[in-house]
């Protein structure tokens, strides 16, 4: 009979700075699923981990235990190489919506299980659900069939996949233990590796509008995740990208879907496509579908120019019950009752667009969640947003506000005027793509 691992003993060891072994970490994760650890005991160990940290070996044990807390999707029937991407979250980051069909059009299957937004960052699932009828709650069997048929599926986390992560993340969110690199690593990888993928690419963001503001900490996260994933047999790279101003010209669920459709038609914003191509190149390279970065980028551009990527988007929307007509008529997406332009108070050049300021304006309009149980308004947000370096004249539109009331629009306008700065001298946009880790 094995040694009984009492929760308080495991908590005390980590509290005192000890390295936990595989059995202790497995007991903690198992206890989060079967209820043998009380919420206050789980929370105590999470705080001890937050304060004391974890070694690479502990982080690998935690990731493994969380992955094995549920099933791992069997995608062996899908013959194409299977690649996914994960972003640590940013403002206007709708890259998944158009990148997934682009990569699928290049012959690489994309099994993507995404989450909802909380706070200032938007969730891929919320954006997809802006498409009338779109169903994100596919079962594992439906997910597998769709991947085999069209090579693409964007769904929400099922009850079978990494159930420990759902429990532990909920506790982290209310105990101020979210910003902990080992816990972030285990959370991301347990979900992503449960998808049944062959390779993974991370878009790790840093800057004002990112989850991790400090570049050094974001890089540390990228190194830890790629190292642990590779140790578990999954080739993984991380693309470091800046998040100082919003990506693209739209922030808000339906508005971002419309912008992603524009990307699939070859009309994407420069900064948005810069990140899209950088991440997409790594997906094709890791999956063995391209000979080099130049070849990968050429394949991705052809997927757009040929119409194949837009075709894949249509197939995915149809397969998941959505209104396919949004690909040709974005007017079928939810529309806010009030749309108003925000005029520039002076002439000059846009010198700053604070991603967090824009995000909070969109959140105020109802595009995001302050609490997990909040409902989002898919129609509201901002679009036609100016970029750093753009010339403007007094009265020119800095963006267009989509609101449900005149009062909400007025308050958001005040927030946006503080977020967008117009100066007399032109400033060049900052570099977005920094380095690739693990390549």
Q: Is a pLDDT exceeding 60 seen at residue 4?
A: yes
Return all residues near 216 (Cβ < 8 A) that are at least 6 apart.
Answer: none
The helix/strand/coil state of 52 is helix
The pLDDT, as a whole number, for residue 372 is 64
Counting every residue written for the chain, the total comes to 439
Query: Are 430 and 244 a contacting pair, CB within 8 Å?
Result: yes
**3-state SS string for 67-120:** HCCCCCCCCCCCCCCEEEEEECCCCCCCHHHHHHHHHHHCCCEEEEEECCCEEC
Report the C-alpha gap between 349 and 58 in whole angstroms: 50
| Fold equal for 83-329 and 335-423 | no
11 bridge partner residues:
none
Beta-ladder partners of 381: 402
Average pLDDT, the chain: 94
User: pLDDT-based confidence at 374, cuts 50/70/90?
Assistant: confident
pLDDT, tens digit, for every residue of 69-118?
A: 999 999 999 999 999 999 988 899 999 999 999 999 999 999 998 877 65
| Averaged pLDDT for residues 164-173 | 89
pLDDT at residue 3, as a whole number:
60
Helix H or strand E segment including 191: helix 181-194
**pLDDT at residue 370 is higher than 80:** no
3-23 average pLDDT score: 93
- pLDDT band for 174, please (50, 70, 90 cuts): confident
What integer pLDDT is reported at residue 245 of this predicted model?
96
Q: What is the pTM of this model?
A: 0.92
The pLDDT confidence band at residue 189, using thresholds 50, 70 and 90, is very high
Calculate the alpha carbon distances from 204 to 176, 197, 240, 342 in Å. Answer: 21, 19, 5, 32
Cα–Cα nearest to 317, from 134, 47, 168: 134
Per-residue pLDDT, 424: 94
Q: What is the pLDDT of residues 205-222, one digit of tens each?
A: 999 998 889 999 999 999
Q: Could you give the percent of the chain with pLDDT greater than 90? A: 85
The full set of domain ranges for the chain reads 7-53, 83-329, 335-423
Per-residue confidence at 121, pLDDT binned at 50, 70, 90?
low
Q: What is the pLDDT of residue 89?
A: 85
Provide mean pLDDT across the span 356-382. 88
What pLDDT sits at residue 1? 40
Query: Any idea which architecture 335-423 has in CATH?
Result: Alpha-Beta Complex (3.90)
CATH class of 7-53: mainly alpha
Spatial CB neighbours of 194, under 8 Å, sequence gap ≥ 6: 67, 70, 71, 72, 73, 113, 161, 162
- Report the alpha-carbon distance of residue 242 to residue 326 in Å, rounded: 30
User: How are beta strands 348-353 and 236-242 bridged, if at all?
Assistant: unpaired
What is the set of active-site residues? Answer: 86, 165, 172, 187, 191
Report yes or no: 199 and 286 within 8 Å, Cβ to Cβ: yes
* Statement: residue 31 has pLDDT above 50: yes
Percentage of residues of the chain with pLDDT beyond 70: 97
Per DSSP, the residues of 333-353 read: S---SEEEEEE-SSSEEEEEE
CATH 3.40.1030.10, domain 83-329, yes or no: yes
Tell me if 178 sits within 8 A of 62, measured CB to CB: no
Question: What is the mean predicted confidence (pLDDT) over 51-70?
Answer: 95
Mean pLDDT to the nearest integer, 347-358: 96
Closest CA to 362 of 126, 95, 96: 126
**Least confident piece of the model among 70-79, 250-259, 368-377, 405-414:** 368-377
pLDDT tens figures, 300-327? 999 999 999 999 999 999 999 999 999 9
pLDDT at residue 176 tops 90: no
Per-residue DSSP letter, 249 = S
**In this structure, are residues 324 and 314 in contact, taking their beta carbons and an 8 Å threshold?**
yes
């Amino acid at each position: 009979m094995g040694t009984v691992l009492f929760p308080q003993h495991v908590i005390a060891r980590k509290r005192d700075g000890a390295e936990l072994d595989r059995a202790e970490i497995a007991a903690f994760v198992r206890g989060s699923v079967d209820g043998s650890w009380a919420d206050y005991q789980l929370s105590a160990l999470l705080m001890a981990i937050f304060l004391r940290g974890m070694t690479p070996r502990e982080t690998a044990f935690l990731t493994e235990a969380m992955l094995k807390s549920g099933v791992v999707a069997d995608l062996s029937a899908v013959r194409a190489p299977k690649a996914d991407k994960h972003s640590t979250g940013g403002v206007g980051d709708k890259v998944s919506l158009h990148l997934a069909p682009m990569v699928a059009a290049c012959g690489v299957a994309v099994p993507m299980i995404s989450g909802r937004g909380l706070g200032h960052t938007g969730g891929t699932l919320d954006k997809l659900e802006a498409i009338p009828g779109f169903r994100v709650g596919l079962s594992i069997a439906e997910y597998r069939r769709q991947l085999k048929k069209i090579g693409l599926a964007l769904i929400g986390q099922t009850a079978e996949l990494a159930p420990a992560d759902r429990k532990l993340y909920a506790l982290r969110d209310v105990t101020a233990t979210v910003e902990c690199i080992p816990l972030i690593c285990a959370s991301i990888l347990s979900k992503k590796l449960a998808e049944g993928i062959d390779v993974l690419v991370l878009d790790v963001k840093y800057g004002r509008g990112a989850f991790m503001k400090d570049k050094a900490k974001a890089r540390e996260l990228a190194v830890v995740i790629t190292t642990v994933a590779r140790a578990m047999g999954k080739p993984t790279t991380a693309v470091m990208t800046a998040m100082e101003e919003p990506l693209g010209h739209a922030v808000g669920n339906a508005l971002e879907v419309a912008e992603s459709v524009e990307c699939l038609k070859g009309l994407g914003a420069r900064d948005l496509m810069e990140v899209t191509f950088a991440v997409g190149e790594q997906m094709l390279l890791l999956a063995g579908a391209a000979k080099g970065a130049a070849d990968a980028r050429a394949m991705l551009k052809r997927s757009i120019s040929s119409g194949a990527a837009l075709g894949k988007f249509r197939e995915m929307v149809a397969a998941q019950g959505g209104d396919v007509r949004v690909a040709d008529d974005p007017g079928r997406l939810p529309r806010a009752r009030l749309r108003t332009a925000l005029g520039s108070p002076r002439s000059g050049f846009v010198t700053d667009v604070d991603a967090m300021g824009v995000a909070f304006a969109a959140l105020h309009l109802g595009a995001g969640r302050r609490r997990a149980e909040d409902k989002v308004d898919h129609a509201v947000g901002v679009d036609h947003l100016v970029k750093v370096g753009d010339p403007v004249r007094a009265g020119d539109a800095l963006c267009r506000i989509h609101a449900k009331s005149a009062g909400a629009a007025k308050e958001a306008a005040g927030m946006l005027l503080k977020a967008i700065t117009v100066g007399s001298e032109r400033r060049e946009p900052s570099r977005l793509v920094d380095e690739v880790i693990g390549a």
